[in-house]
Structure 1
Amino acid sequence: MLVYSGVDPVTGKDVYLTESTRDEKKVEEIRTRLLAKVDKQRNAATKATLAYTLEAWLEVHEADESTRDDYRRLIERNIVPAIGDVPISKIGTRVLEQFYAQLRRCRLRCNGKPYIEHREPGPHDCRVVQHRRKPGRPTAKTLAEHDCGQMQCKVIECRAHVCKPLAAGSVRKIHFVISGALAAATRWEWIESNPATDAKKPKQAAPQPKPPTSDEAARIVAASWEQDAGWGMFIWLKMVTGARRGELLALRWHDVHLDQGVLEIRRNFTQRSGKAREKDTKTHQMRRNSLDSDTVDLLREHRARTQEQIERLGLKFDDAGFVFSYEPDHSRPCNPDGISHRYARMCAELGITSHLHTLRHYSATELITSGVDIRTVAGRLGHGGGGTTTLRVYAAWVADSDRAAASILANKMVRPAPQPGPSSEGSEAT
């Protein structure tokens, strides 16, 4: 039996509810049930759209400001333009799965037909040349002799659309946002159940960390110290602690306990769209990382240099100052993106393919392959779940460590002497 249910909000096609039976006596019962379901969709308790529900959810959802900004960016860029006007009573599991599939094919959700992506709405020239000419007032002669290729004039033009799938991780984030909003709508009794609960989302790609080799790490550290001592100290500490970029930038001198050889990681520093923020660590927990004697000595020297530079300017050294800063009084941490760009430039000059986060992978893999247990590694890195995340990300290196452990145990045991085989007489007797 087919019952018309309306128009699909994603595809624009007619939707029918279906149910089959071989018992003629149940036909009327099925028809009544399907019509009731259609009527329930058309006359829901609320007419709230998904866009309205998302906005209401953001008002009550507990998250730090940068996370909320990420959610709002996904909502405005991907969710609202596609299904924001759809009433939440019309959103089902099938609608969500179709939406996710479209995003995985093309982030602009094109229909597969070729078209031109215009850089601006309204009438405009699709191809514009921004001429670069020699300094001075242009004359008819200089304009006539102008060579766009020689002057490297910039050409701006509207180009044909090329489908770019949205990454699986981004679609999973979109699913989390929609699911959270619809869960809130369920609690508020706007809808009876959350359709996102059963919706199939893209699989999470297996992590494939690619840390620098030991030789590359040694070259990176040497190059950083050659640039300047402060930069060298940052790269050294990033390697030996495996801390996140923002966690090291948020360090203040009162977090560094040199007498105890302990580093307290309590905060994270971020800067986006010109907004600088200090917030909790990713797991919202502080941790204490032990430091080796060499690192303690280097930090003592770094502190002494910092104190001398500040006092030379007639300022007073303060333990509340940041450990890594470009400000004369160390009152503000370094820009996170600037740090990442500097590291990328340095590695490019060395001919090494690496980005700053790989030093975190380097620290983890070196510890694991050296036999340090997963829980300890997870604690130093600040992973949640008691080591579950660490094991998932670094499973390949855990296998290497397990093979090394097998060799260690075997080498501690005395191998038995070769046993003689069965004698020839015994063989003949058999």
Structure 2
Amino acid sequence: MTRSTGAVDRRGRGNIRKRGNSLQVRVYSGVDPVTGKEIYLSETIRGTDTAARRRAEKALTKLQAQVDQQRAPSTSVSFSYAIDEWLRSSDIEPTTRHGYVGYIERTIRPALGDVSVSKLNARMLETLYGELRRCRIRCSGKPFVEHKVEGEHNCEKAKCKPHECKPMASSTVRQIHAIISGVLNAAVRWDWIASNPAKVAQRPRQPAPQPNPPSPEQAARLVEKAFELDEAWGTLVWLVMTTGMRRGEVCALRWSRIDLDEGIVEVRSSYTTLKGVGREKDTKTHQMRRIALDTETTVLLREHKRRCQALFAELGAKWDEDSYVFAGMRGAITKPYPPDAVSNRYKKMATRLGIDTHIHALRHYSATELLTAGIDLRTVAGRLGHGGGGATTLRVYAAWVAAADRKAAEILGSRMPKRQV
């Protein structure tokens, strides 16, 4: 048996030494590439009798094999450090990065930041997810007051309230899980850890999509009200309703990407704002798509284009086919309508009509109307910009696909020859 005294063999053989009422197994694993410190794999075996020593010998052999096969963790840096390196090196859209940083600073770093990346395991992750599903701030379960300000203050004036546990939504926990998994995947690529524990950790189930499109009667009221408010606003709502474009896509739309003669609109980019600064980026699925326009939509866009050209002439600006179709507010004809402004204006309009809906529901309306009319799944998926050959469309609109399938069955059955019973 390996001696229990003396220095650890740097060639990876290691040693077993007595520590109180236990045996400690240690094997040298190399130098941490980040911190420059020596790394040792260790395991503690309870007891010091003959049976315990046999278990220690097996543990020593196991750790030696890990080192020899280069499966041992190569760094002991904290998970917080790994997060910072991942954020620094990853190619993430600014708006997406902004959301990630929010989740990291509010939830992930306080919970796991101090844990060594090599010691993070599936049980720790599942414990975190369970705590978040009980209370989003991971309270102890004991009553306390949530103070609105720091230091000495009057709670009544500051409107401090007793804490009430509010569970974090399953979709949000899944987003946190995705961020953690992304960091750990990077740690695996960098040879900091041997495997990603997030791949085996159980996360909350993804809730079934529940699209809630406006009814045809509600859709008619919404678009009529939009045209009453403003011709340009009415055209925007109409276009989203008939094409199923996302709000960022319709805001980024330029006249050069609309062929009014052929009745085709090309969706190439999306517009987004972050801290008041707007920019164009790729579409959500990073692919261009062409959407056919009906005759009425083409006529509305022609009229809208004439109004835009007249506005340019009135302001003494030179018309450019690369101009945005829906320009910003207060005469900012070179800037697109901000997506958040579109959502807010639509929500206010719907509320005044007594309809509980939002702009994204018009995508659902476009999809469900097409599916109900019997349009094939692939065509609907193409118009919406869904990837996977219709898999996303089927998952989101399964009920409407089933209804269309039933309608198809009835049509086919009605064409079959009648049998005498």
TM-score, with structure 2 as normaliser: 0.84
Deviation at 1:37, TM superposition (A): 8.2
Give the Cα separation in 2 of the matches to 1:362 and 1:157. Answer: 42
Residue 230 of structure 1, aligned match among 218, 232, 253: 232
Give 2:301's aligned residue. Answer: 299
Give the equivalent residue in structure 1 for 2:374: 371
Q: Spell out, residue by residue over 1:29-75, the C-alpha distance to the aligned partner (whole angstroms, 9 max, x if none).
A: 444556888999xx963221111101101122222111122111111
Question: Alignment identity in percent?
Answer: 49
Amino acid corresponding to residue 115 of structure 1 in structure 2: F
The residue type equivalent to 1:117 in the other structure is E
Counterpart amino acid of residue 227 in structure 1: L
Matches within 5 A, 1:4-153: 28-33=53-58, 45-128=74-157
2:266 aligns with 264
Q: 2:282 aligns with which of 280, 286, 310?
A: 280
TM-aligned CA distance change 1:310 to 1:3, over 3 Å: farther
Aligned-partner Cα distance in 1 for 2:54–2:320: 79
Change (3 A) 1:306 1:187: same
Extract unaligned runs of 5+ from structure 1. Answer: 6-16, 129-155, 420-430
Counterpart in the other structure of 1:190: 192
How many Å separate the matches in 2 of 1:116 and 1:400?
Answer: 51
Summarize deviations over 1:344-384 as a string: whole Å, max 9, x none.
11111111111111000000000111111111111100011
2:325 match? 323
Pick aligned residue for 1:380 from 380, 383, 389: 383
Q: Does 1:334 align with 2:337?
A: yes
* Aligned counterparts of 2:54 and 2:263: Cα–Cα separation in 1: 75
Counterpart of 2:34 in structure 1 is none
Q: Work out the CA distance in 2 between the residues paired with 1:411 and 1:386.
A: 30
Residue of structure 2 equivalent to 1:352: 355
SS in structure 2 at match of 1:165: coil
2:76 maps to a residue whose letter is K
Alpha-carbon contact 2:73-2:191 (below 8 Å) kept = no
Q: Would you say the 8 A contact 1:317–1:329 is kept in 2?
A: no
Residues 1:289 and 2:291 are matched in the alignment: yes
The structure-2 alpha-carbon separation of the partners of 1:215 and 1:18, relative to structure 1 and needing over 3 Å to count, comes to: farther
Deviates more, 1:242-251 or 1:80-89: 80-89
Match of 2:418 among 412, 415, 418: 415
Aligned CA RMSD, in angstroms, stands at 2.6
Please give the secondary structure, in 2, of the residue aligned with 1:90: coil
Q: 1:250, 1:267 within 8 Å by CA — same for their partners in 2?
A: yes
Letter in 2 for 1:73: G
- Post-superposition offset of 1:414: 2.9
Aligned 1:193-232 pairs, distance under 5 A: 193-232=195-234
- Evaluate the alpha carbon distance shift between residue 3 and residue 267 of structure 1 in structure 2; reply closer, same or farther with a 3 A threshold: farther
> CA-to-partner distance for each residue in 1:380-403, whole Å, 9 max, x for gaps?
000111111000000010111111
Deviation at 1:274, TM superposition (A): 1.5
The equivalent residue for 2:173 is 171
Letter in 2 for 1:331: T
Distance 1:35 1:115, change over 3 A: farther
Q: Any residues of structure 2 matched to 1:238-249 within 5 Å, and which?
A: 238-249=240-251
Asked if the contact 1:324–1:334 (Cα under 8 Å) also holds between the matched residues in 2, the reply is: yes
